[in-house]
Amino acid sequence: MSRVILVTGATSGFGKECAIKFAKNGDKVIIAGRRKNRLEELKNELKDCDIFPLSFDVRNKEEVLKEISSLPTAYQNIDILINSAGLALGLELSPEALIEDWEQMIDTNIKGLLYVTKAVLPTMIKRRSGYIFNLGSIAGSWPYLGGNVYGATKAFVEQFSYNLRTDLRGTNIRVSNIEPGAAKTEFSNIRFKGEIDKAQKVYDGYEPLVATDIANLIFTLANLPSHVNVNSLEVMPTAQTWAGLHIEK
């Protein structure tokens, strides 16, 4: 029996590859994102699969609640939620960073994730079944120069995931926080606001993760027996590791 999967941020990166992976497995996939044209392109790409495009901005609470509550009957019983919508803006140090960038990261990475999760929970709880994947980041655990608010939002995602799972005890709903390291997606293009050359340099000289790596991991976890919950999964490319503690002399 096919499952119903809701993927936010499905227009690019991890979200898009997750949507493709589950759709080709025969699941019903709700692809959510702001860019309607990209949703339609993905639906056409997966024309032989069961795809339902749902266009909304995760930052808009009323829009999120309205769109998810008005899903057609065939897509209402969401089995898996993949909270993939998120972004980083800028790499400036805190004194130079734009507060507008900080606000957009907070609105998307924190509030957006909360709105979608809140909209999906009642059905999962009623059915006593479900799996929620939150896309965190190693930035939520390990600071780096210019990571400031982005890292803080991902630390929120990590702690919220743990607390959400605790709140859901007895419901059979699973929660996993997925924490990728350096991954080559549109992430850096957005972070550097379309400066492609600057974005590309982030990945020069080593082999980073790619979106399909993360999609494959999430798919694997989603197919584990229902009594198994992976609380968090931190994954880096082999070329990446911790830099060690810095001492200014």
Q: Give catalytic residues, as residue numbers.
A: 150
Instruction: Tell me the three state secondary structure of residue 120.
Output: helix
Whether residue 134 contacts residue 85, with contact meaning beta carbons closer than 8 Å, is answered with: no
Start-to-end CA span in the chain (Å) = 62
CA atoms of 31 and 16, how far apart (whole Å): 8
43 half-sphere exposure, CB direction, 13 A CA radius? 17
**Strand spans (E) along 38-172:** 51-55, 80-83, 130-135
Burial 139-149 (b: 16+ CB within 10 A, else e): bbeeeeebbbb
CA dihedral 42, 135, 156, 241 (to 10 degrees): -130
DSSP letter at 12 equals S
